[in-house]
Structure 1
Amino acid sequence: MPQLAAHLSSVPESGTRRIFELAMTLDDPIMLVVGEPNQAVPPHIADAARQAWDRDDTNYAGNGGLPALRRAIVDKLARENGIDVDIEQVWVTVGGTQALAQAFTLTLAEGDDVLIPDPGYTTFTMFPRAQGAVPVPYPLRAEHGFTPHAAELERLVTPRTRAIVVNSPSNPLGVVYARPVLEQIVRFAAEHDLWVISDEVYEHFVWDGPHTSLAAVAADLGEQERVLSVFSTSKSHAMTGARVGWLVTPTGLAGTMRALQEAMIACVAMPEQFAAIAALTGPTDHIERARADYRAAIDAATAQLDDLGLRYQRPQGAFYLWIDVSHATEGDVAAWAQRFLLTENVAVAPGSAFGRGGEGWIRICLAADPDDVRTALERLPRPARRVRGRAE
């Protein structure tokens, strides 16, 4: 058999998916390992997809997506994000994951470096490796509020660095970057002539104030042409399996993007695009219901962790809890998470799946049945002595 491309051996498998796949072989596990909303898809969204199938609206769309969907996204970006773009800057993708893949494809060549958050979403590491590029982690530490530290960013930049990835609200940490932090990142990118890839798929779940889009901040600083923004319907509209997201590009890339979309996917499936139109133009009360449910879940879970004496990072956004279990993991939280699944029937994401900075921590998804969350937390090992709950 011929050899595979040599650089593919450096692509790590997903540590969260490893636990997820193992859990799927067990009887009725408590599944808190992946970011799967427990909300039902709203009827008006499901109906839009169903009607597309019923009228046989299943042909090819344009590479960028249905014009009606792209216009709805343009309107949404202006209304909710303060981002003013034209339709040729919006590209409908197979979820936020493909939008990230396109952003990396646009900005990275073989051997290039990209700065990625650590801890950070696993795809930030996986896709650059698949291209032969080099993900360079920038540490997010508890003592800095899990936000980027300017001195450490400066230390990591080399002539090979081409881009920096920013994720706010953060998966897995739940951290939301304040405007001064975003301004610092934009100025840093401008100083070193870097692209900025902004992952904002959890934009609707911010708990202590409004969401601030990095592209809007960059526009105020005159740097909007170096930002690529990633969004998705997956979390906000409970459409994880429908796979509809979008990439917002700088101006002048329409020809390049059209070719990349044709080469990679041609287009997103038509029924899913009609569902996304309904999601963006129809009622949004389902988002408010989800927000209320997730906020209640955060309050209940953090109160329980305080009672148990476990240290954690209270999320400012998204719907995860980042919990310190280093007292029980013996320096290998991935192995511990597997044992915990097999002995306690609870699937959690090991923090090391998100980078070296996650060693000793776990991520649990709170967009789940409240009784399951309560039971799972009760099964976590207690520390020998109580600690202050929040990671500070």
Structure 2
Amino acid sequence: MPFLAPHIPLVPASGIRRIFQLSQQLEGITSLVIGEPDVAVAPHIAAAAKQAWDDDLTDYTDNGGIRPFRDAIVEKLARENSMRVKVEQVWVTVGATQGLNQAMHLLLAAGDEVLVPDPGYTTFTMTARLLNATPVPYSLRVDRDFMPDLEELESLITERTRVLIINSPSNPLGTVLPEPVLRELLDFASRHDLWIISDEVYEYFTWDEPHISIASLDREDRVFTAFSLSKTYAMTGIRVGYLVTPPGLTDIMRNVQETTISCVDTPAQYAAIAAITGDHTQVVEAREHYRENIAAATRLLDERGIRYLRPTGAFYLWIDVSTASRGDVAAWAETFLVYQRVAVAPGTAFGASGEGWIRVSLAVSHEILMTGLGKLPAPAVTA
């Protein structure tokens, strides 16, 4: 048979999915590995989707999405993100995953370099490799409170660097980038004439630190921002997100949407309108549920002497298991799954800097969370 493109085998596998798939083969698993909201979709969202099906609203839409949804997004961005954009800058996507993929397709050619957070979400690196571009990790370290190091970023710049990816609130870290850091990153991008791709999937879930969209601070039109309805509204399987572009890309975006998805499915877009314009009671309740889980989880970890990063956003805990994992947290996570029947994401699934750490999802019931965390090994006490 013919050969695949030579760069395709370089696309790394997802370490998160590996643990998840292994867990599906076992019984009695306490799963803390997938960032899947454990709450139901709100009835008014489901009703809107059903009504669209009943009304046979199943035809193609404009490449960018139906106009009422795009208009609602424009209003939401102005109201909640301090982003003043035109409807032509808003493109409905198959979740934030396609939005991020679309932005990277626009900005990266073969051999170009993209600065990706390490630890950072897996698809940043996977998509770069899929495009035959080179992901260049910038480390987020405990000694810097997991904030970007501008000196390190400067040292990574080459003539091939094109894009800086940021993620706030962060998956997997649960960190939120404060405004001074965002302004430093904008200045850095300006000095080196870089594009910025900002992943803001967890914008509605912040704890003690406000979410700020970096595009609201941008005065040079260099930011692409990916948003999603998946986590906010428990719509992960509905696959609706949106990409906000700098101005002037209408014809180009229409072409790339046509060649990738044509358009997002129509009933899902009507459900999405109901989500962002309708009652947010269930979003507020979900936020409080995650906040309560954070409090319970950190209390338990404190009692057991297990180090962790206190999250300021998203619904994850970044936990130090280095004493037990002994330099191979991926292998440790598999062993922990088999023998303790608890599924967690190994930190190295998010980059080399994640060695010795795990990511735990807080989007589960209190009982499941306490059961799983209770099986983590506590550090040995030395005399």
TM-score band w.r.t. shorter chain: over 0.9
Query: Do the aligned partners of 2:95 and 2:242 also contact (CA within 8 Å) in 1?
Result: yes
Offset, 1:209? 3.2
State the partner residue of 2:11. Answer: 11
Q: Residue type of the partner of 2:30?
A: I
Q: How does 1:170-249 map to 2 (within 5 A)?
A: 170-218=170-218, 222-223=219-220, 225-249=221-245
For 1:116 and 1:127, the matched residues in 2 are separated by 11
Q: Does 1:88 align with 2:88?
A: yes
- CA deviations 1:288-323 (Å, max 9, x no partner) are 111111001001000000011100001000000000
For 1:299 and 1:163, the matched residues in 2 are separated by 37
Indicate the SS of the match to 1:298: helix
Q: Residue type of the partner of 2:284?
A: E
- CA deviations 1:360-391 (Å, max 9, x no partner) are 100000010111110111101111138xxxxx
Q: Residue type of the partner of 2:225?
A: S
Indicate the SS of the match to 2:154: helix
CA RMSD after TM alignment: 0.8
Q: TM-score, normalised by structure 2?
A: 0.99
- CA deviations 1:327-356 (Å, max 9, x no partner) are 111211111111111111111000000000
State the partner residue of 1:120. Answer: 120
Q: Residue type of the partner of 1:324?
A: D
Q: Does 1:291 align with 2:290?
A: no
For 1:306 and 1:204, the matched residues in 2 are separated by 27
Query: Do the aligned partners of 2:209 and 2:313 also contact (CA within 8 Å) in 1?
Result: no
State the partner residue of 2:49. Answer: 49
Indicate the SS of the match to 1:27: coil
Offset, 1:118? 0.2
State the partner residue of 2:138. Answer: 138
For 2:198 and 2:49, the matched residues in 1 are separated by 29
Q: How does 1:215-364 map to 2 (within 5 A)?
A: 215-218=215-218, 222-223=219-220, 225-364=221-360
Indicate the SS of the match to 2:294: helix
For 1:359 and 1:380, the matched residues in 2 are separated by 16
Query: Do the aligned partners of 1:309 and 1:385 also contact (CA within 8 Å) in 2?
Result: no
Q: Residue type of the partner of 1:323?
A: I
- CA deviations 1:42-99 (Å, max 9, x no partner) are 0000111111111211111110001010001000000000000001000000000000
Indicate the SS of the match to 2:197: strand
- CA deviations 1:168-222 (Å, max 9, x no partner) are 000000000110000000000000000000000000001113211100011xxx2
For 2:99 and 2:360, the matched residues in 1 are separated by 25
Offset, 1:103? 0.8
Indicate the SS of the match to 2:246: coil
Q: Residue type of the partner of 1:128?
A: A
Q: Specify which of 363, 367, 372 is matched with residue 367 of structure 1.
A: 363
Query: Do the aligned partners of 2:175 and 2:312 also contact (CA within 8 Å) in 1?
Result: yes
Offset, 1:102? 0.5
Offset, 1:28? 3.5
State the partner residue of 1:390. Answer: none
Offset, 1:285? 1.2
Offset, 1:25? 1.6
For 1:151 and 1:312, the matched residues in 2 are separated by 26
Q: TM-score, normalised by structure 1?
A: 0.96
Q: Residue type of the partner of 1:11?
A: V
For 2:143 and 2:316, the matched residues in 1 are separated by 20
Q: Does 1:75 align with 2:71?
A: no
For 2:249 and 2:235, the matched residues in 1 are separated by 28
Q: Residue type of the partner of 1:126?
A: M
Q: Which consecutive residues of structure 2, in runs of 5 or more, have no partner in the other structure?
A: none
Q: How does 1:102-117 map to 2 (within 5 A)?
A: 102-117=102-117
For 2:73 and 2:5, the matched residues in 1 are separated by 37
Offset, 1:9? 1.2
- CA deviations 1:9-52 (Å, max 9, x no partner) are 11000000001111112224111111000111000001111111
With 308-317 and 54-63 compared, the bigger mean Cα shift is at: 54-63
Indicate the SS of the match to 1:6: coil
Q: Residue type of the partner of 1:143?
A: D
Displaced runs of 4+ in structure 1, greater than 2 A?
none
